[in-house]
Amino acid sequence: MFRGSIVALVTPFNEDLSVDFEAYGRLIDFHLEHGTDGIVPCGCTGEAATLAPDEQKRIIKFAVERIEGKVPVIAGTGSNNTAEALDFTAYAKDVGADGALMISPYYNKPTREGLIAHYKTIAEKVDIPIMLYNVPSRTGIKMDPDTIAELFQIPNIVSVKEACGSVDQVSQIRSLCGINVMSGDDSLTLPMMSVGASGVVSVAANVVPEKVAAMCDEFDNRNLEAAQAIHYELTPLFKALFVQTNPLPVKAVLAQMGLIKNVLRLPLTPLPADKLEEIQPVLEKVGIGRAVAAG
């Protein structure tokens, strides 16, 4: 269903904190030109938690229209409110998204039964391919492999973005069912692919799209040594992009590349200058270097 390098796209803002659609279009074009296999608007990296509902819908619609079917659009439609997640997911289908990425409800900490009921309610009402998003560091709960395998019995729940930080989790999932697995941790993409994952929903692809895509392609083409070489080259970058909370570092780097303005919505604040300076050697080593910041 989903394969390769799917970028968890940032949401660029203007200085007045409005969505910068001009920059958003520029980012989409950048990915279409550099080999990204799919695009996720309005995920965690896209600061969905601080988007108003109408903004989130406008961004999803804009992405679908700009991409024009060239690569899949997997819209971030999750919420800790099942009714809101249902509304976002129905909207994503109506405007032509190819799938929906749905984070497990955060803060509420639902039981296993609540998780299943949440996803089942939406999947049964909206006929769109759904990618579960298992990220306990953000939600406070972890979907165990048995729960994922049970949800996979619902026909349009086809994929899971695994961000537990565990290759063993992927092994257990794949031993129980045939659900499509996408890595949610850049540094674990290659290890996860070795046990059955199909690619990554990537933060790093925001800044090195061609390299992340190439790593996935080399593995798919059974060129393990080439895939390993890219993995080792990018490993310092994977760590640098989490020197502080995502998406602070990646937005600072994109601003340095001249693609966006380095603006975030509170409670997030821009990466401190000393932290950006700290990761400069890593950026230069992968070919990013220093550029004039946008804006």
Which active-site residues does the annotation give? 133, 161
Phi/psi at 39 (nearest 5 deg)?
-130, 130
DSSP per-residue letters across 118-187? HHHHHHHHS-S-EEEEE-HHHHS----HHHHHHHTTSTTEEEEEE-SS-HHHHHHHHHH---EEEES-GG
Among candidates 83, 174, 162, 159, which has minimal Cα distance to 128? 159
d(CA 113, CA 182): 24
Burial of 220 (0-12, 13-18, 19+ CB in 10 A): middle
- Give residue 16's Cα distance to chain centre: 25
| Residue labelled with tokens 């492999």 | 145
Phi-psi region of 168 (alpha: psi -120 to 50; beta: other; left: phi over 0): alpha
**Tokens at residue 116, please?**
């299943």
Q: How many residues does the chain have?
A: 295
The identity of residue 279, as a single letter, is: I
